Structures are given as C-alpha cells and as structure tokens.
Amino acid sequence: MGLYILVSVFILMVSGLIILVVLVQNSKGGGLASNFSGSNQYMGVRKTADFLEKATWTLAIALLVLSLASIFVIPKGGESVNKVTQVEERAGDPLPMPTAPAPGTGQQPE
C-alpha cells in the first residue's frame, strides 16, 4: 500500500510539472523563449525552446512509465473483501427484508 501511495504522489508531481512546462511553451515558438531575446544571454531563444521540448518529452515518458508501474503496485482487493465477508457473517442479518402480502388479500404492504 505504501509503494502505491508513493507512485501516486510521483504521478501527481510529474503531471503538475508537465502542465507547467506545456503552459510555458507557445505553439508559435514564443512563450518563455520569447522573453529571453537578449544577445548576451547564457541560453538563447533556441536553446530555451529546445530545453522546454526535451523537458516535455522527458516528463511525458516519466508519466507513462509511472502509470505502467502503478499497475504492479496496486493493492489487491482480495484481502479486504475477505475481511468484509467475515464481518458480515458475524453480524448476521440486522435488517430483515420486508415481505409483500399474498395476492388477492387486499392488505396494504407494511
């Protein structure tokens, strides 16, 4: 159960990061990259766009791998179903089902 929660938290973090990276990009080649148009910048416009594209692909692959890994760490429902069945057997039948009157007696059901 603990590993499933850990993988789920990683999936949420990667999802949030990929949303931010995609929102920073602009489909026309602008976005965050257009703000760094100075010639004496360490990372130019093209390098920023390349970085954002690589980050998008890396996060997408990480999300795919984590999603596939979550299949193997999902807790199995067999144990909890057995516990519920045992509790139901101990409790008995707390509420009996109401019965309908026989046809033709003219009485209203209770």
Asked if residue 43 belongs to a domain, the reply is yes
Asked if residue 96 belongs to a domain, the reply is no
| Domain span holding position 49 | 2-72
pLDDT digits (tens, 9 = 90+) for 62-85: 999 999 999 999 888 765 555 656
Asked if residue 27 belongs to a domain, the reply is yes
Residue 53 to residue 57: CA distance in whole angstroms: 6
Categorize the per-residue pLDDT at 86 as very low, low, confident or very high, splitting at 50, 70 and 90. low
Q: Model-level pTM? A: 0.55
Categorize the per-residue pLDDT at 87 as very low, low, confident or very high, splitting at 50, 70 and 90. low
Residue 46 to residue 34: CA distance in whole angstroms: 9
Asked if residue 58 belongs to a domain, the reply is yes
Res 16 pLDDT > 70: yes
**Residue 97 CB coordination number (10 Å):** 5
The enclosing H or E element of 82 equals helix 78-91
Res 34 pLDDT > 70: no
Asked if residue 41 belongs to a domain, the reply is yes
Between these two residues, 53 and 79, which has the higher pLDDT value?
53
- pLDDT for position 11: 96
Asked if residue 46 belongs to a domain, the reply is yes
Asked if residue 98 belongs to a domain, the reply is no
Res 7 pLDDT > 90: yes
**Number of domain units in the chain:** 1
Categorize the per-residue pLDDT at 40 as very low, low, confident or very high, splitting at 50, 70 and 90. very low
Between these two residues, 103 and 107, which has the higher pLDDT value?
103
